Amino acid sequence: MSQYYYLVATLPMLFYQSERSPSREEFLELCRTQVSGADFRVLAEADLQVRGEQASGCAVLDKWRSWECGLRNELAKLRARRKSVEPAGHLVEAREHLGQTEIARQALGEASPLAAEELLNRARWDYLDELETGHYFDLSRLVLFSLRLQLLERRRRLSDRERGGASFQSQYQSITHSIREEPA
């Protein structure tokens, strides 16, 4: 496994409340010339928008995808139960992970969608912290950094009233549109 001592050493420390950080695109551009082609492909695939558990060649990214799919499944189950709908059509194949049901319950119990999103993003950040253990200068560390950058970008979009409102409305319209089109 490749070690990227210099690259990792040049990256800023990221905290959940970080106001400023490089964009994911800037990070990928920095990595393009410093990591192998195969590792760069894995980095480019590291995305918060998980579409199922597909093998990536990076154990940490695979664990992230599994966890995120499991969390989304728990949210789908609880939402389906609220609407008295069968959840099976909304689930993807994924393992269940300890604590996800409680995270989903707490998120759906929040007073606003923004508060729920904040709770979910904090849980995601905490899980990335768990995954980071033992990874100091390897590809996994870079994957986790990329995922954290995406979480920070997402938080900034939602906390910026104007852009956040537009982003929320766009996502809300997309969700309600897909619900209306689903057969009963």
Give me the residue spans of the domains in the chain.
5-9+21-181
3, β-bridge pairs: 138
Query: Residue 73: is its pLDDT beyond 60?
Result: yes
**CA 45 – CA 61 distance, rounded (Å):** 9
Q: What does the pLDDT look like over 115-157, one tens digit per residue?
A: 999 999 999 999 999 999 999 999 999 999 999 999 999 999 8
Say if CB 62 and CB 55 are below 8 A apart. Answer: yes
| 144 in Cβ contact with 135 (< 8 Å) | yes
3-state secondary structure of 65: helix
pTM as predicted: 0.84
Using a 10 angstrom Cβ sphere, with 0-12 exposed, 13-18 middle and 19 or more buried, the burial of residue 174 is exposed
Cβ atoms of residues 61 and 45 within 8 Å: yes
CA angle 16, 140, 167 (to 5 degrees): 40
Query: Which of the four pLDDT bands, split at 50, 70 and 90, describes residue 183?
Result: low
